[in-house]
Structure 1
Amino acid sequence: MNIFQKVTLQSLKKNKVRTIVTIVGVILSAAMISAVTTFTASMSNYMLQAAIASEGAWHGYVPDADIATTQEIVAAPEVAEASAMRHLGYALVDGNSPYVYVLSSDEETTEMLSVRLVGGHYPTSGNEILLPEHLLNSNKNTFKIGDTITLALGQRMVDGYYLTQGNPYQEEETLEVRETRTFTVAGVYRRLSDRVEPYEAPGYVAITGPDGNGNADSRYDVFFAMNRPGDIYSFLEDHTLNGKTNDRVLLYSGTTDVSGFENALRGLSAIVIGLIMFGSISLIYNAFSISVSERTKQFGLLSSIGATRKQLRGMVLFEALVVSVIGIPIGILSGILGIGVTLLFVGDLFATLLAGEGVPMTLCISAPSILVAIVVALVTVLISAWIPSGRATKITAIEAIRQSRDIRPDKKVRRSSGLTYRLFGLPGVLASQHYRRSRKKYRATIFSLFMSIVLFVSASAFTDYMVTMAGQGLDVAGYDVSMSLRQ
């Protein structure tokens, strides 16, 4: 530590009130910035979790894959997790769709698909079955949990070709029964994503427990998640797979191939942070400006004994670093705590925001958001100190020692009007004389009021935009009944 840094520390200790005020300003700035970055991370995580609850955690889906393709996907190093559902076949059922489509699965697959139970439990063996809720709602002979059902399972055929879930129902098709199996209804679950069970699919998806009776001719629906979500597109292309992607989950995962949400969220956050920086600079700048003004004589003495302009500027910037080391960590923690408490009370209100998925918004602390908050807060403080530090380097040693720029006697007699005294009394007269002597003195006050109004209007507008977006997302159609007819 050099002599200039020691002098700066002594000055900070000597002027404790000003130092505390400066640190409080840094804390407020860092708290607001970290609150924005933490809320952005929490919002992004909330949208992702809501998408996973609705669509599943998978990134890619390859339907009707043979055993070789299934093993290739499972063994790929780019794949973090993969699960396969074995086709057991179609069975005729009385409902809006002509078939029930039975798949054998395990617990990992149901978790990856975000299978949500309405009642009962997940199948634990190949003799138990999980039925979709919309099948029970449309079936004339409603199944109940615990019932035993017998299904004649087979393959849909037309002109010698077998049909899959991707092929809509055709009147000329037939069902070739290959086996008859009896199942116990273990539970009822909510309908899967339309990426897995399209609305035009001919069969309701029913899920059984693990069944180890597969063979070389078995077909599978393979769901998998990548180590890096953005690699899903190149993976499907490189392996020549005819698969689907979970676009909604990929959207909120920040992949480059699906644009929109992340860029919009970051853009809004950048605008808010920019406004906070602008207001913070005006606040912290005043503190450093007062510090430079009070230390003008000290700078003049140091300059007279050989201190360079660079060294004088370095003293002001070192003061900024000292208050930053104290204020920024406290501000970051305060901002995170504030958002955490806020989400603790209002997080559950988000549970029904996205199509009633029941996912509350929770606090998400990410390393990038904290790092961005630290860097932005530090840059804000340094800019606030850099501007007044120029003053310390521009005046000569004699001017600094005499403080001729700070103390200027006004020879002109200035009188206040009698109206000022009648309206505001003696304090008003003194204030009027003060501002008339030096109009520059109150520019900071006017600018601070201006920034307060700007920040308030910006926050109100941001809230209105969020409410509008939520309303559009939950917009209900203007009709009561919808009907689709097949020709």
Structure 2
Amino acid sequence: MNVLRKLTGQNLKLNRKRTIVTIIGIILSAAMVTGVATLVASFQDLFIQSAKMTDGSHHASFYGVPYENSKYIQDHAYTQTAMLSKDLGFARLESSESVAKPYWMIKSYDAESFEHLPVTLKEGRFPEREGEIVISEGVLYDTGMEYKIGESFSVDIGERVDQGEFLTQQEPLSETEELETFTTETYTVTGIITRPRFEAYDAPGYTAIAYLDESRLSAEDKVNISIVAVDPERIFDQAPELAEVAEAEEISYNNELLKWMGITQNEGTLKAMRSVGLIILLLVVTGSVTVIYNAFAISVNERKKQFGMLASVGATKKQIRKMVFWEGFLLGLIAIPIGVSAGVAGIGITLKVVNQLMRGSVFNTGASLRLIISYETIAVSVLFIALTIFLSVYLPARRAAKVSPIEAIRQTQDIHVKQKTLKTSRLTRLLFGIEGELALKNLKRNKRRYRATLFSLLISIVLYISFSSFMTYGFISSDIYYQDVAHDFEIEKQDVSTEEAVEFYNQVARLDEVERYSLVRNIFSEAVELERKQLGDYLRGYLDKEEGEVLRTADGGYRLGFSLIAVGEEEFAAYARELGLEVADYTNSEQIRGILINRNVIPGTADYTPLNMKAGEKVTLTDPAAQGNETPFEYTLEIGAVTEQLPFGVQYAQFLESVNVIVSETVFDDLCAQLSAPSQETAQHIRMFAGLQEDVDRQQFKEHVKAIDARLHSGGHLMMFDIEEFVNEIKNTKTMISIFLYGFVALITLIGVTNIFNTISTNVALRRREFAMLKSVGLTPAGFNKMINYESIFYGLKALLYGLPLGILVNVLMYRSVNHAFDFAFAIPWKEMIICIIGVFVIVFITMLHASSRLKKENIGDALREENL
């Protein structure tokens, strides 16, 4: 047996090219499996990091727990870490300039809460004892009040009450609300925190967090408890049980963190994750197996003569199999460590480059891409590649061992020259000449080698189309989940007349910092006589569900809400120019015409076309707010244009039963005058959306807006929301999703190209004696080139014939899987298919020419005698 092992080693040395090609195949396979797993783990870690910084590292929170019952959660075996917090109440900002946010919202945290809950310290330190507090930076920017670290202040804490009902931080200001105080506290400022994510931009109170001293809590006090669970995957089952035992009033889950950990209650999301994950796993496994199997199958098939010679001198079938297994072991021993290391190193370099491009931080939180090396993943990858090598060796070796020595030496087992088998049509000779006919017969003559190459091409095609579809669906899903926001500031002047508000907005628009703006108003109308055919496919499908009854009218028609939106004269003119429309065509109030935004995006759920209507069609609309015996105002709207492009400051309709239509200011004002009083009041509500120039000092812009408000003396309330953090987070998240998807597809494409290159190169190299024989009987260099070119065409056509339908089938499966979580229209990936068709022929031609170019200068006699590569 030692002799056979030595012979195996010697054979690997003599056939260096074949050995190197096989090693490269194993390295690529190992690198692909390890790289994909590492890439997924690293991106998952990134989003988990970000979620912990923005939403906290806890998994669930229990509200309104009697302090005496807190032990049932804190001491439970399921709880790894418990955090206590308490909402103390609201306190008035007496000298604040902010009318929109006139309160403190004061909470208290224990030490563990400051560590695990989403609070980011900007300067100073967190409270460490009773009477210390940190305050939100928004107080300093918006109110004109100055608080310094070390400064003390006293506040009267109480509850917001409106006509006997208590209001929370999530409820807007009310003109009739009052603050009922019940205690006075004095605090010393120890630090400034960034605005917490749980504090909405339009929340009435600025967040302030004091230190929670458990020793001052009584048994009846209600506290909030947040936990880090021992086993987060069971959180949705375990948390309700803990809440029941502890008599908690409410439970909430840290869904942002749990989502990126792969834990969710959404059945559609779960189905999508599992089915897409299974499809990707099968594709990666298939690609990996193909790379290794083809490398061994072709080379072992060509070595049958050697196996036959060994068998003729006494080697048994078992010894031959062991000899081949030993070869696989040696190659795996060399290639697997290199492949795993290359996969990890490649992803590590990629992530480092990405971090440099993103300046070390992907999100505003400071989270960055880290290389996550999971030893379990590496162990599984090594075992998987080892098993693949075993199977790749076992099947060809078993076939080789079964062949009799005479047949193996004569090599008659694989090549059966029968007239029927090699028969070609006269059309082949007519179209391609003798070289084309010879190329086709060469492919038919050795079907196993031909099928191995064909299968390699086919798998590469399927992988490319499938993962390109995965990338496309990933982009669509991220667009649904994270909608783009074009503006930087939302400004609203409340409790003033429309004229005063417009004057204020116009002066703000003239500031140097403002690049683009819109003044948005809405009229809500309803169409009640729509026909089924006028609804889009998604809504027609919705009608077949029980919930679809809301779209039906009593007389058998269908209703849909129409939101007529005005964006200001300047923005409407710019929008019309972008669409190639004439503004004058939309200013005639006697013939009301609007621009239909025929796309709706329900965040995290669906992206669809609501209506099946074209320019020129008309629809009758009514005022749904008419009261009592008042006859609803009715008017006819003509669809002047249909588009998916949005004007500045407007987003897609986010409600299933509505659609947006953009109208001119003239039409809007004339319609508004004829509406019912409630609709008029709603239509007069006007907001400004402003986009700023690059590198503008946003704080200075706020001060300029406040100065304009003070100069006009218009009264009312000024609300101003800077959404920079929100916009940047969306942009960065989508950027990272793009990098992940493009990187994923690039990796798979590289694997596919290399797989094709290795398989065809090996195939051509192993046919050197065959090519030498053809040359010896008169095949000219030009004829040889033609034959190679025709073989390339036949390979490409046959692979595409099977690969494209299979790719589309996997694309359909991928779509149906993603569709469990996101609704959007299916589309055949024509672009990817065209790229794939061109790519296949280019790669095959280049590979065949490259591989055959080495054989052109070889001596025919040497090639016929040579057994090794």
TM-score, normalised by the number of residues in structure 1: 0.78
Alpha-carbon distance in 2 for matches of 1:463, 1:78: 38
Question: What does residue 221 of structure 1 align with?
Answer: 224
Measure how far apart 1:145 and its partner are: 3.3
Whether the 8 Å contact between 2:414 and 2:446 is mirrored in structure 1 is no
Letter in structure 2 aligned against 1:228? D
2:210 pairs, out of 178, 194, 208, with 208
Is this contact kept in 1: 2:362–2:369, CA < 8 A?
no
| Residue in structure 1 matched with residue 72 of structure 2 by the alignment | 72
In structure 2, what residue type is equivalent to 1:207? I
In structure 2, relative to structure 1, the CA distance for the partners of 1:52 and 1:264 (3 Å cut) is farther
Alignment of 1:280-291 (within 5 A): 280-291=288-299
> Which of residues 282, 300, 303 is equivalent to 2:308?
300
| Runs of 5+ unmatched residues, structure 1 | 422-427
Deviations 1:71-123 (A, max 9, x none): 33221121111111245443223553554232332443122113123444433
Instruction: Figure out how many residues of one structure are paired with residues of the other and give that number.
Output: 476
RMSD, aligned CA? 4.5
In structure 2, the partner of 1:425 is none
Cα distance, 1:41 vs. partner? 1.1
Match of 1:183 among 188, 191, 201: 188
Candidates 94, 108, 116, aligned match of 1:104? 108
Tell whether the 8 Å contact from 2:64 to 2:222 is kept in structure 1 after alignment. yes
Q: Provide the residue aligned with 1:91 in structure 2.
A: 91
Q: 1:150 to 1:75 in 2, by over 3 A?
A: same
Q: Give the partner amino acid of 1:214.
A: R
Structure 2 unpaired stretches of 5+: 423-428, 496-681, 683-869
Q: 2:156 aligns with which of 152, 155, 158?
A: 152
Aligned partners of 1:224, 1:282: CA distance in 2, in Å?
47
Structure-2 change in CA distance of 1:274 and 1:485 (3 Å): farther
CA drift of 1:301 comes to 4.8
Task: Please say if 1:334 is aligned against 2:334.
Answer: no
Deviation digits for residues 299-321 of structure 1 (CA, Å, limit 9, x no counterpart): 33554577665554444344323
> Which secondary structure state, in structure 1, belongs to the residue aligned with residue 216 of structure 2?
coil
Which stretch shows the higher mean deviation, 297-306 or 320-329? 297-306
Compute the displacement of 1:11 (Å): 4.1
Report matched runs for 1:443-454 at 5 Å. 444-445=452-453, 447-454=455-462
Q: How much identity, in percent, do the aligned residues show?
A: 33
- CA 1:287–1:212 in 2, change beyond 3 Å: closer, same or farther? closer
Superposed CA deviations along residues 457-487 of structure 1, whole A, max 9, x for unmatched, are: 5554444444444444442357874879999
- One-letter code of the match for 1:180? E
1:39 Cα deviation after fit = 0.8
Correspondence for 1:55: 55
Q: 1:351 touches 1:361 (CA, 8 Å); kept in 2?
A: no
1:23 aligns with 2:23: yes
Cα deviation code 1:331-369 (max 9, x no counterpart):
111101100100111146679999754422221122343
Match of 2:353 in 1: 345
> AA paired with 2:184?
E
Cα deviations across residues 233-272 of structure 1 (Å, max 9, x unaligned)? 3333223133211122122223364556676566556545
Alignment partners' CA distance in 2, 1:352 and 1:17: 43
Give the Cα–Cα distance (whole angstroms) in 2 for the partners of residues 238 and 43 of structure 1. 33
Q: Secondary structure at the match of 1:68?
A: helix
1:228, distance to aligned residue in structure 2 (A): 0.7
Q: What is aligned with 2:483?
A: 475
Name the CA distance, whole Å, in 1 between partners of 2:172 and 2:221: 22
2:197 to 192, 195, 212: 192
Q: Do the aligned partners of 1:62 and 1:243 also contact (CA within 8 Å) in 2?
A: yes
Matched AA of 1:373: S
**Equivalence for 2:404:** 396
Q: Which amino acid in structure 2 is aligned with residue 184 of structure 1?
A: V
CA change 1:466–1:238 in 2 (3 A) is closer
- Taking a change above 3 Å as real, the CA distance of residues 265 and 37 of structure 1, as seen in their structure-2 partners, is farther
Larger relative contact order (CA 8 Å, sep ≥ 6): 1
Distance 1:190 1:34 in 2: 40
Alignment match, 1:142:
145
Deviations 1:128-174 (A, max 9, x none): 322224445553x4343335432113456799998876888885765
Q: How much does 1:59 deviate?
A: 0.8
Q: Is the Cα–Cα contact under 8 Å of residues 250 and 258 in structure 1 kept in the other structure?
A: no
How much has 1:32 moved relative to structure 2? 1.3
Alignment of 1:219-368 (within 5 A): 219-239=222-242, 240=244, 241=248, 242-255=250-263, 257-258=265-266, 264=272, 268=276, 270-272=278-280, 274-301=282-309, 303=311, 309=317, 312-347=320-355, 356-368=364-376
Q: Is the 8 A contact 1:320 1:385 kept in 2?
A: yes
Pick closer, same or farther for the CA change 1:232–1:483 going to 2, 3 Å.
farther
- Larger displacement relative to structure 2 (341-350 or 442-451): 442-451
Contact 2:293 2:388 (C-alpha < 8 Å) held by counterparts: no
Checking the alignment, whether the CA contact within 8 Å between 2:25 and 2:292 is kept in structure 1 is yes
Aligned equivalents of 1:360 and 1:261: distance in 2? Answer: 26
